[in-house]
């Protein structure tokens, strides 16, 4: 009853109905729990829950105004599970991806502008097909989305991640208008993490697993073009029967695209 009342108040207080579908990422998740306060380890930006539509600007790295509000940096181990809270929820059909960029040697994550290369490390796209084809013919099912209304998601930080200071960039890509060029919506925030020795390293040794430089690395802007497959879709989203997310191959090699969210 109380919950209903609060939800109702929220709906009335929010100005336009479409904005209710929008979101941002203010909370970092490490190993099954939210760490710190909202925006403590996520760079605060000044774009509220407004999407970006131009992948060509530097604000595409960590969102508009993100450099002006330094936040803190959280120490994690290579091999930990990371995640983001979605405020309030993933409200459009689309995909959730994560990119990683290491600050140059000697530069703290909090001082890093994201001008280096970015590796794609996580991609959550459509939901598993349901196999409802009763007559067994070739007719393809339309896609539904694994991201539908998620309020958080988690993914592994590879045990091969070299120690260092990183930006971890959550990128939500909403496809409801993406059949029109320049109208895909991007929701972006960056967490600041310091990767310390991996979980299984013995002292003085480089680990139970081998470190590997993340890659391929692409710059932002430059990583996406407005007409890339997956940014521009060939038909209205509700008619899609196949979908390829934009971005370079996932790192480390062999990382699979996900079709079921791992929420908190």
Binding of ligand NAG by 54 (CB under 6 A): yes
Least spacing, CB of residue 78 vs ligand NAG, in Å: 9
The closest of 91, 94, 52, 53 to 243, measured between CA atoms, is: 94
Q: Which stretch binds ligand NAG (CB under 6 A): 21-29, 63-71, 163-171, 185-193?
A: 63-71
Q: Using the rule CB under 6 A, which residue among 68, 69, 115, 244 binds ligand NAG?
A: 68
Select the residue interacting with ligand NAG from 104, 199, 219, 229 (CB under 6 A): 199
Residue of minimal Cβ distance to ligand NAG: 65
| Among 14, 18, 31, 56, interactor with ligand NAG by CB under 6 A | 56
Do the beta carbons of residue 52 and residue 204 sit within 8 Å? no
Query: Given the rule CB under 6 A, which of 64-72, 88-96, 141-149, 150-158 is the region that contacts ligand NAG?
Result: 64-72
- Token pair belonging to 257: 């695209």
If DSSP states are collapsed to H, E and C, what string results for the chain? Answer: CHHHHHHHHHHHHCCCHHHHHCCEEEEEEECCEEECCCCCCECCCCCCCCCECCCCCCHHHHCCCHHHCCCCCEEEECCCEEEEEEECCCCCCEEEEEEEEECCCCCCHHHCCCCCCEEEEEEECECCCCCCCCCCCCCCCCCCECCCCCCEEEEECCCCCCCEEEEEEEEEEECCCCCCCCCCEEEEEEEEEEEECCCCCCCCCCCCCCCCCCCCCECCCCCCCCCCECCECCCCHHHCCCCCCCCCCCCCCCCCCECCCCCC
Q: How far is the CB of 77 from ligand NAG (least distance, A)?
A: 8
Is 215 or 226 the residue whose CB approaches ligand NAG more closely?
Answer: 226
Answer yes or no whether residue 219 interacts with ligand NAG by CB under 6 A. Answer: no
Q: Which stretch binds ligand NAG (CB under 6 A): 7-15, 62-70, 85-93, 211-219?
A: 62-70
Q: In the bound complex, what is the minimum distance in angstroms from residue 234's beta carbon to ligand NAG?
A: 4
# of chain residues touching ligand NAG (CB under 6 A):
19
Task: By CB under 6 A, tell whether 159 contacts ligand NAG.
Answer: yes
Of these, 131, 132, 134, 202, which contacts ligand NAG (CB under 6 A)?
Answer: 131
Positions touching Cu ion (CB under 5 A) are 21
Where do contacts with ligand NAG occur on this chain (CB under 6 A)? 46, 54, 56, 64-65, 68, 79, 131, 159, 182, 199-200, 208, 225-226, 234-235, 241-242
């Amino acid at each position: 009853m109380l919950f209903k009342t609060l939800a109702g108040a929220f709906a009335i207080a929010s100005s336009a109905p479409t904005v209710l579908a929008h979101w941002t990422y203010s909370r970092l998740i490490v190993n099954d729990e939210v760490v710190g306060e909202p925006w403590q380890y996520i760079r605060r930006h000044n774009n509220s829950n407004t999407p970006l539509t131009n992948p060509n600007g530097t604000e595409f790295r960590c969102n508009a105004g993100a450099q002006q509000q330094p936040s803190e940096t959280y120490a994690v181990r290579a091999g930990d599970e990371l995640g983001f809270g979605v405020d309030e929820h993933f409200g459009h059909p689309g995909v959730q991806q994560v990119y990683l960029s290491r600050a140059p040697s000697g530069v703290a994550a909090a001082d890093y502008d994201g001008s280096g290369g970015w590796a794609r490390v996580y991609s959550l796209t459509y939901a598993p097909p349901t196999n409802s084809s009763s007559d067994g013919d070739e007719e393809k099912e339309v896609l539904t989305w694994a991201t539908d209304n998620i309020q958080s998601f988690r993914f592994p930080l590879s045990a091969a991640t070299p120690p260092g200071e990183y930006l971890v960039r959550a990128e939500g890509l909403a496809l409801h208008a993406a059949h029109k060029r320049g109208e895909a919506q991007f929701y972006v925030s960056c967490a600041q993490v310091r990767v310390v020795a991996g979980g299984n390293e013995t002292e003085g040794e480089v680990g139970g697993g081998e470190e590997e430089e993340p890659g391929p690395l692409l710059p932002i802007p430059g990583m996406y073009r407005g007409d890339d497959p997956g940014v521009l879709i060939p038909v209205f989203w509700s008619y899609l029967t196949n979908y390829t997310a934009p971005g370079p191959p996932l790192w480390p090699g062999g990382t699979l695209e996900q079709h079921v969210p791992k929420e908190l």
